[in-house]
Structure 1
Amino acid sequence: MPTRNNLYIFILALGVFGILTTEMGVVGILPLIADYYQISVAKASLLVSLFALTVAISGPIMPLLFSGINRKKVMILVLSLFLLGNIVSIFASNFTVLLLARVIPAFFHPVYCSLALTAAASSVRKEDAPKAVSKVMMGVNAGMILGVPITNFIANGTSLEMAMLFFAILNALALLATLLFVPSLPVKEGLSYGTQLNVLKKPIVWTAIATVIFISSATSGVNSFIAEYLESVTNISGTFLSIMLFIFGLASLLGNIIGGNLLSKNPIKTTTLFPFVLGIVFLLSFVTGKTPSTMIITIFLWGVLFSVGSMINQYSMTLTAPEAPDFANGLFLSGGNLGITIGTGIGGLFISGLGAQYIVIGGILFLILSLGSILLTNYMIRPGKQLTGIN
């Protein structure tokens, strides 16, 4: 049984890795996509922002609609749609076709991710659930973090089509493994729609949603254009660019550890100080941005703080709605992807109007807004409580 559960959880992790890599991998190749289709980088960023907007819209809705269907059937459906979208992307003759091939599967993104977290927890004993969920989260983080440099490396070493093929292979492997090794998973009795929706009556849930949106906007408004920033401001490309993106990815993995330790020791202090620290690092880019050797330090710090910000978002959202964890996961995905949409949109405007060096200004503006929502959340917390919002 332990071996079977480990295989099942690995397949779930592989599935979310493939889906998240499909979503975020294009961040590292936006300049290549812009050149290939003869469009601006700002327009190419629609591949990120519209995908994220779609997830933001479907995040609270789709997991609820599919909650009563056999989980294996849902997994097969979602992975099949992503695989089909990846195949179409390989042969897309124009940018509109490429955009549609990404947006349509994106509606089902939160279905699989929410399902994976819930299914992993229910596959083991209650006391082992956090460990099972953490393994699936590794797939999520790896897709968001490592998918970018891997995709950039493949595209620069071969072609844009091969990078799209990489997405297809990941989703095909997860689909095949699901078909062969995952048993039928009928859904047992769960929470009613009304019970889950009731968490929206809590004001503190809305301040947490605002924090997720603002922090995600701040980080994605900068991180979505890392490749463009390094090429146009730092004047690096090719293999060195891939190395810099890998540094960002490795730093982000370290950020998971740092963020977890900080949040476990003092969550309120960590969340309150985060906007100040990331704001200082954003400003640091004006000093280091044009010099490759010093920009390595800034990229490393961006990576660490990217993961810390993601962990703050997840921590805040899930703990403000502990009575409905599945719905909270949907809200987290929705708010985070809405933030990606807004952040990449504003970042694109700064690139078009002022140049890539000034994308951090948009990030700083969103950090100021996030500080407001964080302070409001702290004010609403009763003495002795930590981001639970429980009365």
Structure 2
Amino acid sequence: MSKQNNLLILILTIGVFGILTTEMGVIGILPSIADHFDISVSKAGLLVSLFALAVAISGPIMPLIFSGINRKKVMLLVLGIFVVGNIVSMFASSFTVLLLARVIPAFFHPIYCSLALTVAATSVSKENAPKAVSKIILGVTAGMILGVPITNFIAGSTSLGMAMLFFAIVNAIAFIATLIFVPSLPVKEKLSYGAQISVLKKPIVWLAITTVVFIGSATSSINSFIAEYLETVTNISGKTLTLALLILGLASLVGNLAGGNLLTKYASKTAIFFPIVLGLVHILSFLTGKSTVPMMITILLWGILFAIGNNVSQYWITSAAPEAPDFANGLFLSCGNLGITIGTAVGGLFISGMGTQYIVLGGLLFLILSLVSIVLRSYMYSPKTKQLAS
């Protein structure tokens, strides 16, 4: 990759990190927000759930609407909206104002992330596209996992307002860097809305959508309750819990790079073996969950595989619709958020019905379903099957 491409991908990575930290960072400060506005923690949780719902709704639509506009201008628009939203959040006089300041930018979230993935993939050769995309997903994963402890630390050390300022600063850095260093990115071959939506007629796309939802459900059914699992099953807390979550976050960064390399060399095999390997790790965690040291090893593996799962999901859906990359990446974001919603709900049901230790069963269920859909697509669209059909 040239220096210019490396700089472009770095800026895009910072941008998605800022947007994902804005989305997920508040998880660690929900109790503080509840106290500040004198509301329940469950009501404060609307800051997360409504944000995710907005992303799921706008995922396929907004990237489609903006697909024909100069990509640099669109990215500046989205980053600017996030900067303004975070500044308004700093000075929000009521919870309603804070909620609006988060939900409105959430509708624009899929536009930037979809464009970042598309621009990264098209800025390099087709063979190196998975590696370039993995770096963008590195920003996504870092925002989702590392954003929470960073925000919690800032709010605990200073104030809620300073945590919101942190969101604004990261997005502002990405805005300024985009403005100065990113060249104009006009859309050379604009696809009509109909041409992009028409990819939904392809069965392979629906198989990919199903796979992404199942993978998202499998990982989130455990990740959403990881802290509770470690506290109640492994019986660790305090600094040890913080260390475990840090291991999870750092391992996920390694997993992003590993996922990009694996998909570059062995795309289909990586997709097929991912749910099998993660399923074995789930079984391992069920057997060793009550022992601290073995569980730390499991946490390390969880982090690596969580990130690889994100890479597999993005590749699986964009490779099914290469003629409409922006729309495909929007579908990836929408289906991923739908998977988070389903997985979290199912994980909660297992906790209330059987106990926290059994959330791994929900993960295993979704992994089996994802493996079936991956194998079905691999068989139906293999060169040998096509040859026999013809």
2:86 is the alignment partner of 1:101: no
Q: Answer yes or no: is 1:211 the counterpart of 2:211.
A: yes
The answer to whether 1:295 aligns with 2:295 is: yes
Aligned CA distance change for structure 1 residues 131 and 350 (closer, same or farther; 3 Å): closer
Partners of 1:279 and 1:313 lie apart in 2 by: 16
Q: Is the 8 A contact 1:21 1:147 kept in 2?
A: yes
Q: Compared with structure 1, are the counterparts of its residues 40 and 279 closer, same or farther at alpha carbon in structure 2 (3 Å cutoff)?
A: farther
Contact kept? 1:49, 1:344, Cα under 8 Å = no
User: How far does residue 17 in structure 1 lie from its aligned partner after superposition?
Assistant: 1.4
1:217-240 CA distances to partner (integer Å, 9 max, x unpaired)? Answer: 110121122233334444444443
Distance 1:351 1:44 in 2: 22
**In the alignment, is the contact (CA less than 8 A) between 1:58 and 1:334 conserved in 2?**
yes
Q: Deviations over 1:123-170 (max 9, x none)?
A: 678888676555444433432343234334444555554433322221
Distance change >3 Å, CA 153–CA 259, structure 1 → 2: same
Which residue of 1 is the match for residue 280 of structure 2? 280
Separation of aligned partners in 1, 2:152 and 2:274:
29
Structure 2 counterpart SS, 1:69? coil
Aligned equivalents of 1:353, 1:37: Cα separation in 2: 32
Matched residues in 1 for 2:311 and 2:127: separation?
Answer: 22
CA shift for structure 1 position 247:
0.4
Does 2:324 match 1:321? no
User: Which 5+ residue runs of structure 1 have no aligned equivalent?
Assistant: none
CA contact (8 A) 2:118 2:329 kept: no
Give the conservation status (yes or no) of the 8 Å contact 1:49–1:342.
Answer: no
Residue pairs, 1:43-82, within 5 angstroms = 46-82=46-82
2:361 corresponds in structure 1 to 361
Cα 1:38–1:134, aligned 2, differ >3 Å: closer, same or farther? same
Aligned-pair identity in percent equals: 72
CA distance in 1, matches of 2:145, 2:239: 18
Query: Matches of 2:103 and 2:130 in 1, distance apart?
Result: 32
- State the SS of the aligned residue for 2:383: coil
SS of 2:319's partner is helix
Q: Cα distance 1:219–1:84, how it changes in 2: closer, same or farther (>3 A)? A: same
Q: Which amino acid aligns with 1:72?
A: K
Q: Does 2:85 correspond to 1:85? A: yes
**Shift, 1:65, TM fit:** 0.7
**8 Å Cα contact 1:9-1:135 kept in structure 2:** yes
Helix, strand or coil at the partner of 2:330: helix
Alignment of 1:49-198 (within 5 A): 49-92=49-92, 97-120=97-120, 133=133, 135-182=135-182, 184-198=184-198
Residue pair 2:351, 2:358 contacting (<8 A) in 1 also: yes
Shift of 1:211: 0.4
| Alpha-carbon distance between aligned partners in 2 of 1:124 and 1:375, rounded to the nearest angstrom | 29
Aligned residue type for 1:217 = S
- Residue 203 of structure 1 deviates from its aligned partner by 0.6
1:72 CA displacement: 3.2
Q: Distance in 1 between matches of 2:33 and 2:281?
A: 29
| Residues 214 and 366, structure 1, Cα contact 8 Å, conserved in 2 | yes
Q: What's the TM-score, normalizing by structure 1?
A: 0.83
- Figure out how many residues of one structure are paired with residues of the other and give that number: 387
Superposed CA deviations along residues 89-129 of structure 1, whole A, max 9, x for unmatched, are 44556655544433221111111112223344566788886
8 Å CA contact 1:221, 1:344 repeated in 2: yes
Change (3 A) 1:158 1:263: same
Offset, 1:298: 2.0
Corresponding residue for residue 259 of structure 1: 259
- How many Å separate the matches in 1 of 2:34 and 2:286? 25
The Cα offsets for residues 281-317 of structure 1, whole Å up to 9 and x where unpaired, read as 2343344434433321221121111012112212211
SS of 1:146's partner is helix
Query: How has the CA–CA distance of structure 1 residues 94 and 10 changed in structure 2, closer, same or farther, with 3 Å as cutoff?
Result: same
The 8 Å contact of residues 130 and 263 in structure 2, kept in 1 or not, is answered as: no
Give 1:59 shift.
1.4
> Measured at CA, do residues 192 and 96 of structure 1 come closer, stay the same or move farther in structure 2, by a change above 3 Å?
same
Q: Distance in 1 between matches of 2:42 and 2:245?
A: 20
Counterpart residue type for residue 323 of structure 1? E
Deviation per residue, 1:328-362 (Å, 9 max, x gap): 21221121111112222333444455554443333
Q: Match for 1:369: what amino acid?
A: L
Greater CA drift, 370-379 or 131-140:
131-140
Assess if the C-alpha contact under 8 Å between 1:45 and 1:348 holds in 2.
no
2:10 aligns with 10
The one-letter code of the counterpart of 1:63 is P
Asked if the contact 1:48–1:344 (Cα under 8 Å) also holds between the matched residues in 2, the reply is: no
Counterpart residue number, 2:334: 334
**How big is the shift at 1:209?**
0.5
Q: Which runs of 5+ in 2 are unaligned?
A: none
